[in-house]
A = this chain, B = another copy of it.
Amino acid sequence: MRIGDVANRLSMPASTIRYYEKVGLIERQRRVSGRREFDDQAVFALEFVRLSQAAGFTIAETRSLLQAYAENPTEKGAWIDPAQNKRTAIRAKIRELERMDDILSQILTCRCPSLTDCVKKGMANGMGG
């Protein structure tokens, strides 16, 4: 497959695929002409990259995970710590967003006519620096 085929198949811009290659997420494989050649394994890697990015891993983290996978595709051990750490980070982020939601809820539902008091309540509730 050529990059345009993969781009269509994954609904992913070709520029993004080139970028992923450039930052070391996927391998360089070329035809004699110099154009990129993609097999099903490469497509799988790209799908994994998308999943990993969607799961909140950075490019660097995704690269580490793919390297661990390349070294031993049948061993999940290398993934356990990063996945658990990421879960911890994701949950912290969820709690943070829930706190933001609480503050907004407070602003929307409290009885004071001015926002100033709501904001001060929000600040008092641990948003201060």
Q: Which residues from chain A sit less than 8 Å from chain B, CB to CB? A: 10-12, 44, 47-48, 50-51, 54-56, 69, 73-76, 79-80, 83-84, 86-87, 90-91, 93-94, 97-98, 100-101, 103-105, 107-108, 113-116, 118-119, 122-123, 127-129
Contact = CB atoms under 8 A, between A and B. Distances in A.
A105 B127 contact: no
A104 B122 contact: no
The 8 closest A-B pairs by CB, nearest first: A11-B129, A55-B100, A74-B114, A83-B104, A87-B104, A90-B101, A94-B97, A51-B127
Nearest to A55: B100
Q: Number of copies of this chain in the oligomer?
A: 2
Nearest to A68: B115
A119 B76 contact: no
Contacts of A129: 10-12, 50
A100 to B, nearest CB: 4
Given A55-B103, A76-B114, A90-B101, 16 more contacts: A48-B119, A50-B129, A51-B119, A51-B123, A51-B127, A54-B100, A56-B97, A75-B113, A76-B107, A76-B118, A80-B108, A83-B107, A84-B104, A84-B108, A86-B104, A97-B97
